[in-house]
Amino acid sequence: MLRSYARHDYPLVPAALGLRGDERVLDVGGGVGVLAGLLLDLHPQLDVVVIDRPEVVAQVPSRQGLRAIAADFFEPLPLDVDLVVLARVIHDWEDEKAVHLLRNVRHALPRGGRVYLIELLVDDDGTFGGLCDLHLLLATGGRERTAKEYSALFNEAGFYLDEVRTIPALPSV
């Protein structure tokens, strides 16, 4: 399932990030490394670290520029990175835990570091994303959110939302 969602939803994400190509990237909750691999396909000089549960990162393929580390992302993240990618992670958690995770990310970044969320955005009027939202509520206690709701989470964690980049895929950046 992790590979299926990622292969379908993430091919356009690496270009949408607008990276230089030499950054140190932390892919929090990066699953089996599909997005990390797509990032390296576009930018082979990246240094990408995927963190996730031990049984998940055990499935990350060996590849130049890619490391997989078993970690609890609700604990401090002692890594030296330029940017963090959270793809379909924040939506799994209710607001309090989402803010806690974002604060951990903030402490792992240097001044000027960047965070990219890759998430489905619910329309402000609620006409899109309702079934996904209901599924998350039942499965994980999380929820799909609007751009304004993500901005509020960012602000509470000490970040600010710079822009929303829509791509011709289900998630936005």
β-pairing verdict for 24-28 and 66-70: unpaired
Q: Is 107 annotated as catalytic?
A: no
Residue 36: CA atoms inside 13 Å, Cβ hemisphere, count?
A: 30
Pull the structure tokens for residue 153: 């989470």
List of E strands, the chain:
24-28, 47-52, 66-70, 83-87, 114-118
Largest CA distance in the chain: 45
The answer to whether the CB of 165 falls within 8 A of the CB of 173 is yes
Q: How far apart are CA 173 and CA 171, in angstroms?
A: 7
Q: Which listed residue (8, 43, 91, 135) is catalytic?
A: 91
Residues carrying an active site annotation: 91
